[in-house]
């Protein structure tokens, strides 16, 4: 897994909470910093890439391990 | 320029409360400007104290643990039971409560607008509504919706 600055575990939470919490975490980060987002909501497969695309916070990496999804998002320029 | 989402919320049931607040809070997270117009029974979603219910009556698609014939569904307490069951399920599955989603909408600047005509029609008391809402009519909605990227009637 690539390097990250902040970790956010949303395990057990369902749509739309992972997206809302990711948004909040990113808003408190400086641009260029990376967020490790952990999600168990299966809809996140599609939702997090959509969120990344629409908000301009690039998705650096994604992986799945035993039903748990891991995303590395980089905070984009303000 | 930010995308815009215009929603008409016309339902005041527990299940009817989710789509407007869920989509509005998510849309804000995605950078949208959002306005929700509450009309008819949807006005109940603006009450400070939410007491939303879900009923299996007239809703044959609602999953029930055992089949309950319509004639039985009129028994007092069944609506209470269905609501309790739904709330328990939502909690178990890690779904946010309506209150939680509404709070996020308020905090993130979703514009909540009460339809003035239906407020008057039902003699709703605006003091019972949460703070920070405005009121408007059909033209207020259409002015915003005319430029919106997404419009929904729920």
ipTM (interface predicted TM): 0.85
User: What is the per-residue pLDDT for B75?
Assistant: 87
Residue A64 host element (H or E): strand A59-65
Taking Cα atoms as reference points, which of A46, A41, A47, A48 lies closest to residue A67? A41
Q: Which of A32, A33, A15, A62 is nearest to B29 (CA)?
A: A15
- In chain B, what percentage of residues exceed pLDDT 70? 100
Write the CB contacts of B142 (distance below 8 Å, at least 6 apart in sequence). none
CA atoms within 13 A on the CB side of B127: 0
Go through the domains of chain B in sequence order and give each one's CATH number: 4-50+97-153 (3.40.1260.10)
C-beta atoms of A17 and B96 within 8 A: yes
Using one digit for the tens of pLDDT, what is the confidence trace for B132-152?
999 999 999 999 999 999 999
More confident residue, B64 or A9: A9
Q: How confident is the model at residue B67 (pLDDT cuts 50, 70, 90)?
A: confident
Comparing alpha-carbon positions, the chain A residue that sits nearest to B105 is A20
- Mean pLDDT confidence for B87-95: 95
Of residues A1 and B141, more confidently modeled: B141
Q: What is the pTM of this model?
A: 0.90
Average pLDDT, chain B: 94
pLDDT at B73: 83
Q: Which active-site residues of A does the annotation give?
A: 15
Determine, for residues B30 and A14 on separate chains, whether the beta-carbon distance falls below 8 Å: no
Greatest alpha-carbon span in chain B: 54
**DSSP structural state of residue B96:** P
**Per-residue pLDDT at B46:** 97
Residue A67: phi and psi, rounded to 5, are 85, -5
Torsion of CA B140, B143, B147, B151, to 10 degrees: 40
Find out whether B115 and A36 touch, Cβ atoms under 8 Å.
no
pLDDT of residue B113: 96
Kindly report, residue by residue over A24-77, the tens digit of the pLDDT: 999 999 999 999 999 999 999 999 999 999 999 999 999 999 999 999 999 998
- Chain B: closest CA distance from residue A14 (Å): 5
Q: Which pLDDT score, from 0 to 100, does residue B71 have? A: 86
Is the minimum CB–CB distance between B29 and chain A shorter than 8 Å?
Answer: yes
- Dihedrals phi, psi of B10, to nearest 5 degrees: -115, 0
B114 near B126, Cβ under 8 Å?
A: yes
Q: Which CATH number fits domain A6-74: 3.40.50.150, 3.90.1150.10, 3.30.110.40, 3.40.50.720?
A: 3.30.110.40
Residues 75-114, chain B: which have Cβ within 8 Å of A? 93-96, 101, 104
Sorted by where each begins, the domain ranges of chain A are 6-74
Residue with tokens 């998510």: B26
Residue B2 — very low, low, confident or very high, per pLDDT cuts 50/70/90?
Answer: very high
Rounded to an integer, the average pLDDT of B126-133 is: 92
Report how far Cα A57 is from the mean position of its chain's Cα atoms. 9
């Amino acid at each position: 897994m690539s390097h990250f600055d902040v970790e956010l575990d949303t395990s057990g939470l369902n749509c739309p909470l992972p997206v809302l919490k990711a948004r909040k975490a990113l808003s408190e980060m400086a641009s260029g910093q990376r967020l490790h987002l952990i999600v168990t909501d299966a809809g996140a497969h599609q939702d997090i890439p959509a969120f990344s695309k629409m908000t301009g916070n690039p998705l650096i990496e994604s992986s799945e391990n035993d039903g748990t999804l891991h995303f590395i998002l980089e905070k984009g320029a303000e | 320029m930010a995308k815009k989402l215009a929603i008409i919320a016309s339902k005041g049931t527990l299940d009817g409360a989710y789509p407007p607040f869920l989509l509005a809070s998510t849309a804000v997270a995605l950078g949208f400007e959002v306005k929700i117009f509450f009309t008819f029974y949807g006005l109940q979603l603006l009450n400070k104290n939410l007491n939303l219910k879900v009923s299996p009556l007239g809703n044959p698609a609602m999953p029930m643990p055992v089949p309950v014939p319509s004639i039985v569904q009129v028994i007092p307490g069944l609506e209470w039971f269905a609501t309790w069951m739904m709330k328990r399920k939502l909690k178990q599955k890690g779904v946010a409560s309506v209150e939680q989603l509404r709070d996020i909408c308020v905090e993130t600047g979703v514009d909540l607008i009460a339809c003035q005509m239906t407020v008057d029609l039902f003699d709703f008391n605006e003091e019972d509504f949460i703070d920070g809402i405005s009121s408007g009519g059909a033209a207020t909605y259409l002015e915003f919706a005319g430029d919106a990227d997404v419009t929904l009637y729920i």
